[in-house]
Amino acid sequence: MRVLITGITGFVGSHMADYLLKNVPDVKVFATRRWRSRDDNIKHFYGDDRVKFIEADLTDRGSLHGAIKMSKPDIVYHFAAQSFPETSFITPVMTLTINVIGTTNLMEELRIAKDNGICDPVIVSVSSSEVYGNALKDEVPIKETNPIRAANPYSISKVGHDLMSQYYHKAYGLKVIVTRMFSHEGARRGKQFALSSFAHQIVQHEKGKDFGKEGSWYEIYHGNLDSVRTYNHIEDAVHAYWLAIEHCDYGEMYNIGGDYTCTVGDALDMLISKSKKPDVFIKLVDPDRIRPTDITLQIPDSSKFREKTGWKPTKGLEEICDDLLNHWRSVL
């Protein structure tokens, strides 16, 4: 089986490759990366002849054409994106270009490959729960039929990604499955994201020379702690992406989410409780972490996906917090 992963250097792409190499016999992973991307998440693949890295960029059609021609995939996992909501406020044009135009470039090259008999893969097009934006209280848990109310440049870009993916199925018969994953966390999560940022700050303090010295206290900086999230462990997330290939219908959209719903503040409290000295931390608002608009109510109804695949989460917020802290303890 030949699998093309776009964006393997990212959090989810690297975990997806881990899952495939561990669980799928005779798999060959072709992985796109940009020359300027960091390789922290993929160093453990170096020397594994089951993984072939390909230099490519979503905004460069020629590089995508070459990647598809080289890989001739049976499956495509499209993870590559500008995936930081906070960054999207600063660089909205770049975010839209990468996520909307870049996804269109990929789909167009896959259409050409299909028309020319090169390959006709199953495509998991990874959208986001952020397309729903700020759901109303009487709309949760959120179904796939919920209105789209994108609330920031990133979520707007994922609406474009989502709709273009649907279009290429309807117009050209590409075997596209659109997933809308809700909050998913674990080891290797970038510190631009809230829970990983909190864990990073905690571990930085833990590793300080005088940590825990009598009378000392340590700040954890945060943004909006009142946002409600439903958390899913990354290992359950990538398992879900695999089951989508096996069981989901082309042209359909599927919400995927965990079972543990709480505020971001609750998750921060759990991380602090798992630190080496929980009583020495204080929480302080950082104005730079307050977004101009915030998506505050993310509770999924993933019954459509669960009924189709039999998937259910095996890990919760406890394991997420443990993995985030242990990851940063291993790399800082």
pLDDT in tens, 96-127: 999 999 999 999 999 999 999 999 999 999 99
**Is the pLDDT score of 146 beyond 90?**
yes
pLDDT digits (tens, 9 = 90+) for 219-277: 999 999 999 999 999 999 999 999 999 999 999 999 999 999 999 999 999 999 999 99
Tokens in use for 239?
């398992």
Whole-number percent of the chain with pLDDT over 90: 93
**187, 126 in Cβ contact below 8 A?**
no
Phi, psi (5° rounding) for residue 298? -115, 85
Distance CA 312, CA 22 (A): 20
Tokens in use for 177?
């499955």
pLDDT value of position 214? 84
Burial 217-243 (b: 16+ CB within 10 A, else e): ebebebbbeebbbbbbbbbbbbbbbbb
Distance CA 103, CA 79 (A): 10
Of residues 8, 17, 120, 19, the one with CA closest to residue 75: 120
Question: Average pLDDT for residues 162-187, to the nearest whole number?
Answer: 98
pLDDT value of position 212? 81
**199, 185 in Cβ contact below 8 A?**
no
Tell me whether strands 260-263 and 228-233 are parallel, antiparallel or unpaired.
antiparallel
Tokens in use for 26?
């005779």
Tokens in use for 237?
């997330």
The three-state secondary structure class of 16 is helix
**29, 67 in Cβ contact below 8 A?**
no
Q: Whole-model pTM above 0.85? A: yes
Q: Given pLDDT bands bounded at 50, 70 and 90, which one contains residue 36? A: confident
**Is the pLDDT score of 189 beyond 90?**
yes
Distance CA 80, CA 83 (A): 8
Average pLDDT, the chain: 96
CA 62 to chain centre: 26
Question: Average pLDDT for residues 26-44, to the nearest whole number?
Answer: 95
pLDDT digits (tens, 9 = 90+) for 311-326: 999 999 999 999 999 9
Tokens in use for 331?
């790399």
pLDDT value of position 175? 98
Distance CA 159, CA 316 (A): 28
In the 8-state DSSP scheme, what is residue 276? S
* 109 sits in which H/E element: helix 102-115
Q: Given pLDDT bands bounded at 50, 70 and 90, which one contains residue 284? A: very high
**Is the pLDDT score of 215 beyond 90?**
no
**300, 235 in Cβ contact below 8 A?**
no
pLDDT value of position 152? 93
